[in-house]
Amino acid sequence: MWFIIICLAITFTIKILYDWRRPSMFPPGPRGLPIVGNILDVKRLVDETKFYSHAWCRLADIYGPIVGLKLGIAEPLIIVSGKDAVIEMMSRPQFDGRPNGFVHRLRTGGERRGVLFTDGDVWRDQRRFALRTLKEFGFGNGTMEDIILNDAVSLTTTIESLSKSGPITNLYNITSIAVLNSLWTLVAGARFDLENPKLTEILSVVNGIIRNSNVTGGILTHLPFLRYIIPGLTGFTVLNQRLTRMWQFIGSEIARHKQTRTHGEFRDFIDVYLAEMETKQSSSTISSFDGTQCFVIIFPEEQLISVVKDLFSAGVETTNNTIGFIITYLIVKQDVQRKVHEEIDRVLGLVLGKDLLPRIVYKNRLPYLNATIAEVTRLANVGPTSIPHRAMTDSILLGYEIKKNYSLLANLRSVHMDEQHWGDPKVFRPERFINDEGEFVEDPWLIPFGLGHRKCLGETLARNSVFLFVACLLQKFQFVLPPGHPDLFLDGVDGFTIAPPDISVVAIKRI
């Protein structure tokens, strides 16, 4: 008996030491501890810097552009920093996978589904179908622009009404519903009032998930067994409740579509997907071992819920955060806000007694507004890293061995804050995007939407939404802080993405 126990103990010890070792070609990084690996190292850095993305930059300063971390029992995490290394990683198809950790499955009903955290054929099929279908309903064309403008004008009307009662304390919630409406019109054929309590609750749920998570997957990915021991302390209980609430909300919307849809008529993305589900069920069959026929449902309802969930979350969070940061920076930098106002007045001034609505066709005639948006995007780093990638095969990256299933993060902040390129990266200076002729100039070092095959599929919608919403808001209002408001912390609030700080805003109508 004792011999067996001793043998097991020795085997367990050897296993721990083997997992703890760092192979010769493994990327450099902190040594860490057995079992927990670098969890405590990362926690210490985040406590010091207040942000995960700042911690990644600190590690890059110490160890170089490729840093290897071992976090609990999960596969190693590789942090890739600097423009050359980031481009190399994000451009290679062998790194186009997505991790398969516990949290990545939990978020979509226990299996990897949707478009954000899938790869291979599932990802390609779902992404292709989503893009094609959304484009049929106006995604990326003039119809989409009209939808966004309609929501932007409604937002300005709401802000004007609220401003009569004093400082606005919930501007973030109001703009998030307006931003969502543009996409939700295509996805679900519906719009929400800007103060709809049901939607406000769901947006609060989404915000809670994003603010209380990070791109590493957190302790539930590093040591997933802890959810059985301390579900409350690990955040599992609250996360599961929030994910269930989100799943129920979208599921009820799909149930409504099933009851109200007319066969052969398509109102929105959900209708088309439901029709595709029926087609697959009726036409996709294979033979089982006993010769009987069985259905292969390639587009199950759980996949539909997951795709809509991804569109819902990704379509609101980063765009709304960017708009919030732009307003916040312009509140602090009143001289920049004044220049934007002057440019908008000059280009979109009174024509036949009526202001022109901002439209994409006028975008090139508003270089300073474009430069301001670009500079806030660079400094705010709403998405400071890529969504985690996964190595699909064993590979070599800049001389280091990256084994299959390692996770990789592209540190976009390291590119946006590179001192050698930007010179004064911590300084808010929109003029860095303006040339000698006064034209807006794109900078290839600004890559907020990522690169390669996994580049954000909603980039065009996000860019147009930010431009149109911001242009409409600044055409109508000057934004300032109320008297006595505490100083703003422009770095924002950490989470899976970076959110603007909570502030009260005075919206002064411009005459």
| Spatial CA neighbour of 46 closest among 37, 30, 63, 58 | 58
* Angle ∠(440,443,447) on CA atoms, nearest 5: 125
Q: One-letter amino acid identity for 501?
A: P
DSSP 24: T
Torsion of CA 216, 217, 222, 227, to 10 degrees: 160
Angle between helical axes of 171-188 and 269-283 (0-180°, round to 10): 40
Distance of CA 429 to the CA centre of its chain: 25
Helix (H, G, I), strand (E, B) or coil at 291: coil
Residue appearing with tokens 């609250």: 238
Q: Which string of DSSP letters, residue by residue, matches 20-51?
A: HS--TTSPP----BTTTBTHHHHHHHHHHHSS
How many C-beta atoms lie closer than 10 Å to residue 496's C-beta?
20
Output the 3-class SS for 98-163.
CCCCHHHHHCCCCCCCCCCCCCHHHHHHHHHHHHHHHHHCCCCCHHHHHHHHHHHHHHHHHHHHHH
| Spatial CA neighbour of 127 closest among 454, 357, 408, 505 | 454
CA separation for the pair 239, 222 (Å, rounded): 16
**Residues whose CB is less than 8 angstroms from the CB of residue 510 and which lie 6 or more positions away in sequence, other chains included:** 341, 475, 476, 477, 478
CA separation for the pair 33, 469 (Å, rounded): 49
User: Is 294 assigned to a binding site?
Assistant: no
Output the 3-class SS for 255-283.
HHHHHHCCCCCCCCHHHHHHHHHHHHHHH
Instruction: Measure Cα distances from 238 to 67, 205, 208, 218, 474 in Å.
Output: 32, 10, 9, 14, 38
User: What is the token pair recorded at 412?
Assistant: 């976009």
User: What is the token pair recorded at 10?
Assistant: 């020795």
CA-derived radius of gyration, the chain: 25
Strand partners, 389: 408
CA separation for the pair 148, 311 (Å, rounded): 16
User: What is the token pair recorded at 105?
Assistant: 């499955």
Q: One-letter amino acid identity for 35?
A: I
468 and 288 in contact (C-beta within 8 Å)?
no
141 and 130 in contact (C-beta within 8 Å)?
no
Helix (H, G, I), strand (E, B) or coil at 349: coil
Residue appearing with tokens 């302790």: 219
> Which residues line the annotated binding site for heme?
456
> Which residues line the annotated binding site?
456
